[in-house]
Amino acid sequence: MRRRTCALLVAVLLTLSLSVSVFANGQQGEEGGEDKVTIVVQDWLKAQQGSKTGDYVDTIDAGYMAKYPNVKVVRQEGKPFNNDEVTASIMASDGPDSYLIIVNGQDMNILGEGFAVLDDYVEDLRKDFPEGALTDCTVGRDLNNGLRGLPVTVQGWTWYYNKSLYRDAGLDPENPSTTWNGLLDASEKLKSSGVIPVALSMAPYMEWAIAGSMDHLLSIDEKKNLFSGDFKFTDPKVVDVFAKFQDLFEKGYMDPTGLTLPTFRDSGEKFMAQDTAIFRGLISDTYNWKEFGDALGEENLGTIPNFSWPGVDKEDTLGVAGGITYVAMNYSKNLEETINYVKWTASPEGQQTGLDVGGFMVPSNKVDRSGINSIGKELYDYVDNNSVAPAKTYIQNPQWAVIRSHASLLFSGEISPQEYAQAIEDVRP
């Protein structure tokens, strides 16, 4: 009966992608006959084996097992994340005896009530993080609601560009234009030189490019009102963002095969192969400053947080919010093991691993940044000194789903920017 139950649990958990399951499964230790707690990790990071993110997975798990030899970590690759399924499982408390999941900061409001409150366990680590990073690990961004995790990364979007391809196209790679019109001019020269100017793929690239371009364009009040509905996606300022990306694709400045490239990874590989010159990417996680710097050479990689609109007060800013966070279920029977895993990923050693191995922007003040490349240091400067709350933090989930599902229709011209905006508004809760 126990074997049948465990098999069923593994099958259920394979429906998760941003999830890490940990269950207590007493089994004979490899030495001395001692029982071990087996931790089965299932998440999208497993899919990145061979990349910097995959290297991080191997290193962080090996470090955890060395620190806690009574625990064995086994990773399995999960399937695409489904919030409805995760929420149903958590609320029903029908998961394994003990397990964790990885969530993004913005998912706390969806799932957070099912996560264990960690305040009594993590007091020794709180001081290592700025308050803003900790609030991303709470329900409602309110520390009074209790910490449900500890931040592993901070996250944002930037434009990366290939300096070598810029130079070959007659552009100045050290002083690139950072305006939207400058992007159009650069794209024309890159296209004329035989290079695809801007990378493109299906989810989640399209909606990242759109939402990231709203980060510096909208004020914090407009972002908050976007969430409440007092400021709408049908506002001309927002519709103009949609129109600009449709125009970018129609002019042939974005990868024409992007509408059939299924994943972000496909476009990242093409950028590293120098098939495209400009890439809308993450500052942490997969295909970031470290991975691109290693592939292209640090001297050939540049970054521009946003191509700005005329009249924007803060043009040169980076939208930054909480990245990934490990959380434990509040019904876990082996809470000590699950919380120790959370603490390990957020410890000075774990955070240094994220920075050095994974290329993560980490929020801990205990890391040594001296060994990272120049683009990583430049992005850290934005994170520390010139960041704003990203627009995505204020986009409700039903609307975000439409932004994603209708993005290809917008880029291909099957719907107008106004129709795209109205479709987003039509699902407002």
Tell me the CATH class for 155-320+379-426: alpha beta
pLDDT band at residue 205, thresholds of 50, 70 and 90?
confident
CATH 3.40.190.10 domain range(s) in the chain: 2-153+323-364, 155-320+379-426
Per-residue pLDDT of 222-272, as tens digits, reads 999 999 999 999 999 999 999 999 999 999 999 999 999 988 888 999 999
Q: Indicate the pTM of the whole model.
A: 0.85
> Looking at residues 292-320, what average pLDDT do you find?
87
> Looking at residues 166-172, what average pLDDT do you find?
98
Q: With 90 as the cut, is the pLDDT of residue 407 above it?
A: yes
**pLDDT number for residue 52:** 74
Q: What is the mean pLDDT of the chain?
A: 84
Q: With 90 as the cut, is the pLDDT of residue 54 above it?
A: no
Q: With 60 as the cut, is the pLDDT of residue 19 above it?
A: no
* Residues 49-67 as b or e (16 or more Cβ within 10 Å = b): eebbbbbbbebbbebbbee
d(CA 403, CA 400): 5
* Residues 319-346 as b or e (16 or more Cβ within 10 Å = b): bbbbbbbbbbbebbebbebbbbbbbbbb
Q: In this structure, what are the phi and psi dihedrals at residue 2, rounded to the nearest 5 degrees?
A: -65, -40
CATH label, 2-153+323-364, candidates 1.10.3720.10, 3.40.190.10, 3.10.20.30, 3.30.2130.30: 3.40.190.10
Q: Using DSSP, state whether 364 is helix, strand or coil.
A: coil
d(CA 280, CA 257): 16
**pLDDT number for residue 85:** 61
Are the C-beta atoms of residues 24 and 97 closer than 8 Å to each other? Answer: yes
pLDDT band at residue 101, thresholds of 50, 70 and 90?
confident
**pLDDT number for residue 127:** 94
pLDDT band at residue 3, thresholds of 50, 70 and 90?
very low
